[in-house]
Amino acid sequence: MSWIVQQLWLVPALPFLAAGVLALTPRRHRRSAAGLAIGALTASLVLAGGAFAATLGQAGPDGFRAVVNFTWLETGAHAVRLGWVLDPLGAAMLVMVSFVGLLIFIYSVGYMAHDDNFTRFFCFLSLFAGAMLGVVIANSLLLLFICWELVGLASYLLIGFWFQKPEAAAAAKKAFITTRVGDLGLFVGMIWLYSAADTLVFYENGQGCLEQGMVTRLVATTAVAGMTLSTAISLLVLLGAMGKSGQFPLHVWLPDAMEGPTPVSALIHAATMVAAGVFLVARMFPLFAAQPDGATGESPALQAVTWLGAFTAVFAALIAVAQTDIKRILAYSTVSQLGYMFLGLGTGGVAVGMFHLLTHAFFKALLFLGAGSVIHGCHEEQDIRRLGGLRRTMPVTFATYAVGMMALAGVPLLFSGFWSKDEILHAAQGWKPSPWPFYLGVLGAGLTAFYMTRQMIFVFFGPNRTCARTHAAALTPHESPPVMTVPLAFLAICAVVLGFFGTPAWPWLQTYLEARPADLTAFDVSRLFAVGVLGLMVLSTAVVAAGLALGWWLYGRRPITDPAATDALELAQPGLFRLLHGKFHVDELYEATVVRWHAAWATLGELLDRWLWGGVVLLVHGLALGLAWTSRLLDEYVVNGGFDTACRRLVRGGRHMAGLATGKPQSYLRGLAAATAALALLLLWGGCR
């Protein structure tokens, strides 16, 4: 247990500390705030690098894994244990998150220069970074869930950073609530797992819930509807992952999250947070992949992941084709790529999914930051129809954006996107249960190429349409300052370089993540030309070329000059274009069903509250009042009245009797004599005759 593993908790702790300090610093210390945030993250990056180096050296039987656990909460017999773990999966994510985060921190110093809530922004960013790093190293599902919620909080705060804008506030609420729906699934799954496995720690020398002994026990018991317990829990965890990663039913919040500042979109909605869902599935992979020993074929959970991923990929790609906002196109592209990652996980396992996640993180961050510098340059203009012709005015942004676009589209050989997508398609091709995910994957790749070229042409080629805006004087777009363009360059380089680590010829990353047999680790170009691999590469290249050509043909030949001009695709397919532009009206669907249903429930509740409970309260109130009144009346007239009259009569009677006591002894004597005589009379002639 090396020093680095012991101190691994510092990686998330430093950004948290920075967030705490920044929260207290007054707004005017802008420079020191940025410095503190960036410093903390660089420290974390160094530590992450150290940890990564540690994992490289010693490859254990199933890869390097070092665990530190401690008891957090002791309640009688039960003890809730937390802890952190260092393994290849975690190490890779650590490095990716802290490196990309650092670049985005530096970028946002320039981007947010004019904003007066500068320190607050960096405080939230540090908070987010800390939480994300926490998710990565967590060895217990509970600790993971805690950091997962913090990440959700950070995303809410960052989306709604410009809370003055109503749309931003609404978007933040939407994001938070939709992810909460997913988190609910994760939460129920967690509790179910705890009740079944009696521990939430992943790896604890044998007793951990992801270790073989516990997993076989979970698989053995059948939970609800014939599914094994592990499958049921995995599906619930998948629900959480869908929420956070914006998969099909719960993807609506991601496009609206673009209201937040662009570095936020880049960091959270491209690179890290959305990747958390995929990471969660990768972390819980043994549970997902668990099969009752007799069964064959894919485990139901992984089949679900695959189908979900494939469908979302195509679905999002279709919508992206018809969008006009530069960041929304990228948002839908992220949703689509996440679909691909799930597809990779479902068919190829952790290594395939993670490889695409890592590559996607870099080039998607690059694209977002590029869009950011475009918006920055064109004075907050986001509608691509009002952009155009920025090739000459923003050359660096154009160049880096082009690299990113080609990586995303999957231009062969040089760019990382091609290699990671190829791995997924290869795995999907070999997927036994059904060939359809492979076909959807190929279709998605083509669509991706098409909408990226559409966006490139609209934004960078054709005449510059910004000056057509009415009110502003001719605002000439200008290139972003170096503090923004340098990170772009770095990211572009990574987008290219990272691809080479996972090619079939030298699958280092896969072996690193899944500890494949030793022979595969050597560099061997010949594997490239294996029959299946080569054929697939040719197919995907053809598909990408087709997409590019279609894009250029539709938009490149006659770039539009009037922002109000109708879209070429719309001319071709007006109905389909409107459908796609309307995002399949999923929002309206939700609006119509969930929101109204909720509203109905709310009004019902309100009515219930007003009439039923109100009525009861009123009733009780009336009762009490009535009771009080009657008791007052009773007291007033019956008791007092009766009592007083009785007292008065008594007093009067008393006074009469007092009359008897005249004070004159003779009257007493008279009475006495008369009475005795009467008594004598009675006795003598009365009874005892």
Place of tokens 């799930």: 342
Residue 687 near another protein by CB under 8 A: no
Residue 670 near another protein by CB under 8 A: yes
- Which of 164, 666, 687, 688 binds another protein (CB under 8 A)? It is 666
The nearest distance, CB 647 to another protein, in angstroms, is 18
Residue 662 near another protein by CB under 8 A: yes
The nearest distance, CB 651 to another protein, in angstroms, is 13
Select from 47-55, 147-155, 492-500, 661-669 the region that touches another protein (CB under 8 A). 661-669
CA–CA distance from 84 to each of 65, 203, 344, 345 (Å)? 11, 9, 26, 23
The nearest distance, CB 686 to another protein, in angstroms, is 12
Q: How far apart are CA 23 and CA 12, in angstroms?
A: 17
Select from 131-139, 191-199, 431-439, 667-675 the region that touches another protein (CB under 8 A). 667-675
**What single-letter amino acid sits at 264?**
V
State the number of binding residues for another protein (CB under 8 A).
Answer: 20
- Nearest CB to another protein, comparing residues 557 and 655: 655
Residue 264-293 contact track with another protein, rule CB under 8 A, x = bound = ------------------------------
- Nearest CB to another protein, comparing residues 600 and 679: 679
Cα 400 → chain centroid: 29
**DSSP string across 481-516:** PHHHHHHHHHHHHHHHHGGGGSSSSS-HHHHHHH--
- Which of 380, 659, 687, 688 binds another protein (CB under 8 A)? It is 659
Q: How many helices (H) and strands (E) does the chain have?
A: 30, 2
- Which of 24, 77, 474, 657 binds another protein (CB under 8 A)? It is 657
- Which of 57, 661, 687, 688 binds another protein (CB under 8 A)? It is 661
Residue 650 near another protein by CB under 8 A: no
- Nearest CB to another protein, comparing residues 517 and 663: 663
Task: Write out the two tokens for 64.
Answer: 């390097």
- Nearest CB to another protein, comparing residues 627 and 684: 684
Label residues 459-481 b or e (16+ Cβ within 10 Å = b). bbbbebbbeebeeeeeeebebbe
- Which of 684, 686, 687, 688 binds another protein (CB under 8 A)? It is 684
The nearest distance, CB 667 to another protein, in angstroms, is 7
DSSP-based three-state secondary structure for 534: helix
Residue 688 near another protein by CB under 8 A: no
- Do residues 89 and 353 touch, judged by C-beta distance below 8 A? no
**DSSP string across 249-307:** TT-THHHHGGGS-HHHHHIIIIISHHHHHHHHHHHTHHHHH---TT--SS-HHHHHHHH
Residue 673 near another protein by CB under 8 A: yes
Select from 115-123, 172-180, 476-484, 651-659 the region that touches another protein (CB under 8 A). 651-659
User: Who's near 57: CB < 8 A, 6+ residues apart?
Assistant: 64
Residue 663 near another protein by CB under 8 A: yes
Task: Write out the two tokens for 178.
Answer: 């939709």
- Nearest CB to another protein, comparing residues 57 and 687: 687
Q: At what angle do helices 300-321 and 326-348 cross, to 10 degrees?
A: 160
Round to the nearest angstrom and report the end-to-end CA distance of the chain.
124
The nearest distance, CB 649 to another protein, in angstroms, is 17
**DSSP conformation class of 632:** H
Site of interaction with another protein (CB under 8 A): 657-667, 669-670, 673-674, 676-677, 680-681, 684
